[in-house]
Amino acid sequence: MDLRMWKVVYSTGFYYEKVLGVLRGQVRRLRDLLRIADYDLIYVFMWVTPFGTTVFERAVRGLAKRVIYDIEDNVLIERTSTARVSHPNRWIASLKGAGKARFLIRSADHVITSSPFLNGLCLKINDNRLSTYISSSVDTDRFRPANLYHNEDVIVIGWTGTFSSKIYLDLLRSVFLQLADRVKFKLKVIGNFDYNLPGIDLEVVQWSSQTEVEDLQTIDIGVYPLPIDDWVLGKSGLKAIQYMAFGLPIVATKVGTTPLLISDEVDGLLVESQEEWVDALERLVREPDLRRKLGEAARAKAVQKYSVSAVKLDYRRVLESVMKDNSV
């Protein structure tokens, strides 16, 4: 997907532009096939192509000397009915099957996964029984704290994501309405879509790589809501790691990878029910000292465990092992 396609893919309409965007991508992949054999290793992230059969994947596997497959989402398990219905392009989603990902998982020389749960599935499928869980990472030199942890201004609760993950933000609509009856706060949504929540002091900011850091630095509390189902067990928790890098106290659903990333009451708050969501957010809005304690601990953990400099060593070990074990 090139930048022209990205600008319209989650918008209503623009069918002509979307079809052209898909065709441009297919042409690029055809061109790539002509040069794959020139490389010592091919690194595939998520898809060779997103639609159709496994033709492109089989061509890459046949032409490549070595293949590493990096899979970020749990595409092996069908999404819940809620997620499926809320997909921005349902007919396009129906064209994406698990067959392409399953072929790559099975045939790759090594698989890299986004969660321990997904890694366990891939270990059973991969012919070589080689799969490694590597946490998502962020540039902690760029994502730096700017929070003063005080209550002199209205506290800002923030969420960031794309249209496809808006369904997770919607899980908190009633939570925010209940919270507004207890404390004063502002909700800031950073994404690539418009959002409405009557009765809430709401600011919607269109995501931009140029202003991403500044926008996230205006948040006091980060929220990471997820449904409790098998689909989210494959999610990496990148949003949570981003909040942590900015030194923000985070409230997250206790499911999947989040309990591995966040230690409850140490560097964040983990919740399961709607009542726990409201109570946790009220505590953080009212208690600046708690926000400071959790936020500073979250920042320290992000630098130590989830920074690019920390995680790159894991990637290097996988790359070196594949080159060593499959010498040509």
Write the class of the CATH domain 35-137+309-325.
Answer: alpha beta
pLDDT at 78: 55
Across the range 259-275, mean pLDDT stands at 97
- What is the tens place of the pLDDT at every residue in 285-323? 999 999 999 999 999 999 999 999 999 999 999 999 999
* Fold match flag (35-137+309-325 vs 156-306): yes
Which DSSP state fits 255?
Answer: S
Lowest mean pLDDT among 31-35, 80-84, 85-89, 113-117: 80-84
Q: What is the CATH number of domain 156-306?
A: 3.40.50.2000
- What is the tens place of the pLDDT at every residue in 55-103? 999 999 999 999 999 998 777 765 443 444 444 455 455 556 568 999 9
pLDDT at 328: 53
Best CA proximity match to 168, nearest among 208, 112, 226:
226
Of residues 161 and 163, more confidently modeled: 161
Question: How is the chain split into domains, by residue range?
Answer: 35-137+309-325, 156-306
Return the SS3 of 59.
helix
* Count of C-beta atoms within a 10 Å radius of residue 304: 11
pLDDT at 192: 85
Can you say how many angstroms the Cα of residue 92 is from the centroid of all Cα atoms in its chain? 20
Statement: residue 30 has pLDDT above 60: yes
Q: 17 φ, ψ to 5°? A: -65, -35
Distance CA 3, CA 307 (A): 27
* Count of residues making up the chain: 328
Adjacent-strand bridge partners of 222: 158, 250
Cβ atoms of 120 and 99 closer than 8 Å: no
pTM of the complete model:
0.86
Lowest mean pLDDT among 18-22, 201-205, 212-216, 232-236: 232-236
Mean pLDDT value across the chain: 91
Statement: residue 47 has pLDDT above 50: yes
pLDDT at 89: 54
pLDDT at 325: 74
